[in-house]
Amino acid sequence: MSDQPKMSAATKELLKKVRMMVPPMLEKFHKGQLGRVAVIGGSENYTGAPYFSAMASARLGADLSHVICTPPAANVIKTYSPNLMVHPIMREIGEVPASHEPASELASPIIAMLSNLHTVVIGPGLGRDKLMQATVAAVIKAAREHNTPLVLDADALWLIQNQPDLIHGYKECVLTPNVVEFGRLAKAVGIGEDEMPDTGEAGCKKVAAALGGVLILRKGPVDWISDGSISVKCEQEGGRKRSGGQGDTLTGSIGTLLAYRRLYLEGLWGG
């Protein structure tokens, strides 16, 4: 009996497309050329999520993986792995003087890093703290100006449900909601459950279209992926254990693939 996982024709087709984005290992490449990914997230309560995300980006093949988080999270994450570059730039509201909420000041060194990054993942372990949310809102605005590909998950989706205009129409943006986050996003763009009888393809397409064509990967038993006009699905069966952190791992992996896509489009190899 074969120990190969069963794979549908659609999944095989999808993997063929992904394969096209994987770069060749050419002798001429130097460090950093094959992917510089940053994960913004990590707060006092959540240090594992940004670690899972950034390590996934590194293990899938990004040359350099950064974590941008709060100082208490940074001290912990640094002990998890020497592979990650950890920047203690973010602050929760209790970490700054009460009269001062310097979201734009905090965002400034992160924005300065954008021209040196291929992709930014925002959300794993970010939390819903007001200052953390305002800081990443400023980074998202700047990332749009730089045309930096974004992957938004977890608490960054909380921000988007409150301020959908931040990403409306931004085609370099991937949202990766779980079932609960997807429901909240749909509600935020005015799509009620009665209008969304099918939480599969039709629902995913509808919410992506309502957000102006951002790419939505709606996680679930089948992952539906749509930009509002085209949709594909991943129905490959995974393990049955639903432990925390699987979505975080996905965000970092997408971060690396988006970096590869960008490098391919910039002509780093091929033609």
Ligand X SMILES: NC(=O)C1=CN([C@@H]2O[C@H](COP(=O)(O)OP(=O)(O)OC[C@H]3O[C@@H](n4cnc5c(N)ncnc54)[C@H](OP(=O)(O)O)[C@@H]3O)[C@@H](O)[C@H]2O)[C@@H](O)CC1
Ligand Y SMILES: Nc1ncnc2c1ncn2[C@@H]1O[C@H](COP(=O)(O)OP(=O)(O)OP(=O)(O)O)[C@@H](O)[C@H]1O
Closest by Cα among 115, 181, 138 to 40: 138
Closest by Cα among 34, 73, 40 to 54: 40
State the nearest-atom distance from the C-beta of 75 to ligand X, in Å: 15
Q: Point out the residue whose Cβ comes nearest to ligand X.
A: 48
Q: Which of 23, 88, 246, 264 binds ligand Y (CB under 6 A)?
A: 246
Query: Does 245 interact with ligand Y (rule: CB under 6 A)?
Result: yes
Q: Which does 63 bind (CB under 5 to 8 A by kind): ligand X, ligand Y, none?
A: none
Q: What is the DSSP string of 50-116?
A: HHHHHHHHHHHT-SEEEEE--HHHHHHHHHH-TTEEEE-----GGGS-TT---HHHHHHHHHHHGGG
Query: Does 244 interact with ligand Y (rule: CB under 6 A)?
Result: yes
User: Binding site for (6S)-NADPHX, residues?
Assistant: 125, 178-184, 248
Site for ligand Y in 145-174 (CB under 6 A): 154
Q: Which is nearer to ligand Y, 126 or 263 (CB)?
A: 126
Dist CA 142 CA 184 (whole Å): 25
Query: Does 221 interact with ligand Y (rule: CB under 6 A)?
Result: yes
State the nearest-atom distance from the C-beta of 21 to ligand Y, in Å: 19
Q: Which is nearer to ligand Y, 115 or 243 (CB)?
A: 243
| Sign for the pseudo-dihedral over CA of 240, 250, 171, 104 | positive
CB atoms within 10 A of CB 187: 14
CB atoms within 10 A of CB 62: 26
Q: Point out the residue whose Cβ comes nearest to ligand Y.
A: 247
Maximum separation of any 2 CA atoms in the chain, in Å = 67
Coil vs helix vs strand at 141: helix
State the nearest-atom distance from the C-beta of 203 to ligand Y, in Å: 15
What number of residues does the chain have? 271
Site for ligand Y in 190-219 (CB under 6 A): 219
Q: Which is nearer to ligand Y, 138 or 183 (CB)?
A: 183
State the nearest-atom distance from the C-beta of 52 to ligand X, in Å: 7
State the nearest-atom distance from the C-beta of 126 to ligand Y, in Å: 11
User: Binding site for ATP, residues?
Assistant: 219-223, 238-247
Q: What does the binding site for ligand Y look like in residue numbers (CB under 6 A)?
A: 154, 178, 219-221, 223, 238, 242, 244-248, 250
